[in-house]
Structure 1
Amino acid sequence: MKERGIIFNSEMVRAILDGRKTQTRRIMKPQPKPNENGGFSWPSNICQSMINIKEMMQNNEGAWAGIAGIACPHGGVGDRLWVRETWMPDAPRDGTWSDIEFYGCKDSKLSMIPERFRKPEHCIHRASWKGSELVGWTPSIHMPRWASRITLEITNVRVEHLNDISARDVVAEGLIQLPASGRYVRFEGAQHFGLAYRDHKEAFADLWDEVSKPDCNFESNPWVWVIEFKKVE
């Protein structure tokens, strides 16, 4: 079993904490390229040869899942992902860790935090913060392993074109389907602000394009890793 860090924005962290999000899609790098057989080939330094994705997907799911689990840079079934999110250290107010020691200098380093306070319970995570806006949030990319409060276990890995996402998988990505209208929203109560989508792909495209690069937007329909997971309690 291996552990790797994976970044989620605050909206998706809340969906994971709520138990709604059990999938994530990540861009394949490099992208598969069309080959002379009418399929797609993807060069992999792991498999030592060209993997014909079209042929692999025609095999049984277990066989393809095994290959995908080896090739996927985020890990395979049974591996774990620790969530990186926007955060900041939170000094205890009992005098054992001086605020000035860490917060008083612009160039303060995480290594200045006393070892005994390098735990998630001594951090504030933006996705769960309900107080007034704070200054000094640390970007998710800079979250160390000890500050992470969420660990996920990979249960399945596959590949597909981004536009092939199903209505069921959009819900697994953390969106909510309203039982009365069948429309989709990104968070509870969003429909009251006119933020509901008629189509599941329209809803997911809006979510995807908010964080993707222009050349990998929903319309460009790239190949993606589909990683299914469960939260480790």
Structure 2
Amino acid sequence: MADRPILFSAPMVRALLAGRKTQTRRLCKDQPPSGVAIIRKTIRPFGGEPYHAFERRTKFGNFGGEVPVKISRGDRLWVRETWQGLSFGDYQPTKSSLCEVRYAATDPCADLDGEARGYPWRPSIFMPRWASRLTVIVTDVRVERLQDISIADALAEGWPGAVEANKMPATKWYRHLWDEINGAGAWEANPWVAAYTFTVIKQNIDQIEKVAA
């Protein structure tokens, strides 16, 4: 089990908070070469919970090695999102952990420009661990082609509903979302992705341990 950061956009953070998002798909860093199939196996150890392992194979037999995914079942991921820390009293941007943290995903002034809001946003990549307010625990990992996503999986990716998604069904909405994040044509490329299923805890990762203690 490892603790790792993971980035989410503001709409996906809102989906996490609303309980709509329990999956995320990320590009596999090393795409298997053409003709390689990903074989998923369910391992059922005696006296333990089932888990999944993967092999890469070609028509000539085993390809060798493991599918390169960074995140494993049981890992805890602390969510990074667009944010700002403000000092107490004068509410000026500060890098001190003794501050009030504002989050762009839920700040009522998020859509105002920086001058009207009174402070700029910091990109999610610069969010430190102590400022994170959400933790996800990975319960399952799958390696699959992007276009293999099912309707149930698209719903679990945080589909906001037909009205909010301009009446698009879940899979079409997800196709649009993927291209929006990764660029035009990214869906048509149909890359191999790691599909992570998780549970959401609405707490800082280090506060979870304190509460448990």
TM range (shorter): 0.7 to 0.9
- Which of 173, 189, 192 aligns to 1:220? It is 189
Corresponding residue of 1:208: 178
Task: Output one character per residue of 1:109-136: Cα deviation in whole Å (capped at 9) or x when no partner.
Answer: 72xx2x5x16xxx200010111362341
SS at match of 1:138: coil
Partner letter of residue 52 of structure 2?
A
SS at match of 1:12: helix
More strand by share: 2
Partner letter of residue 60 of structure 1?
T
Corresponding residue of 1:46: none
- Which of 47, 59, 84 aligns to 1:88? It is 84
How many residues were matched structurally? 181
Corresponding residue of 2:60: none
Superposition pairs for residues 1-233 of structure 1, below 5 Å? 1-35=1-35, 39-40=36-37, 53=38, 56-57=39-40, 59-60=41-42, 65-67=52-54, 71-73=68-70, 75-93=71-89, 103=93, 110=95, 113=96, 115=97, 117=98, 122-131=100-109, 133=112, 134=117, 135-177=119-161, 184=162, 189-190=163-164, 195-197=166-168, 199-214=169-184, 217-233=186-202
SS at match of 1:206: helix
Once superposed, what is the RMSD of the aligned Cα atoms?
Answer: 2.5
Instruction: Report the Cα offset of residue 231 of structure 1.
Output: 1.0
| Moved >3 Å (runs of 4+) | 59-64, 66-71
SS at match of 2:133: coil
Identity of aligned residues (%): 37
Instruction: Report the Cα offset of residue 201 of structure 1.
Output: 2.5
More helix by share: 1
Give the TM-score, by structure 1 length: 0.69
Instruction: Give the structure with higher Rg (CA).
Output: 1
Contact conserved, 1:2 with 1:79, CA < 8 A, in 2?
A: yes
Q: Give, in whole Å, the separation in 1 of the partners of 2:139 and 2:124.
A: 24
Instruction: Report the Cα offset of residue 66 of structure 1.
Output: 3.5
Give the TM-score, by structure 2 length: 0.75
Q: Give, in whole Å, the separation in 2 of the partners of 1:196 and 1:33.
A: 37
Flag structure 1 segments of 5+ consecutive residues without an equivalent.
41-52, 104-108, 178-183
Contact conserved, 1:163 with 1:201, CA < 8 A, in 2?
A: no
Q: Give, in whole Å, the separation in 2 of the partners of 1:218 and 1:156.
A: 23
Corresponding residue of 2:61: none
SS at match of 1:17: helix
More deviation, 125-134/150-159: 125-134
Flag structure 2 segments of 5+ consecutive residues without an equivalent.
45-49, 56-65, 203-213
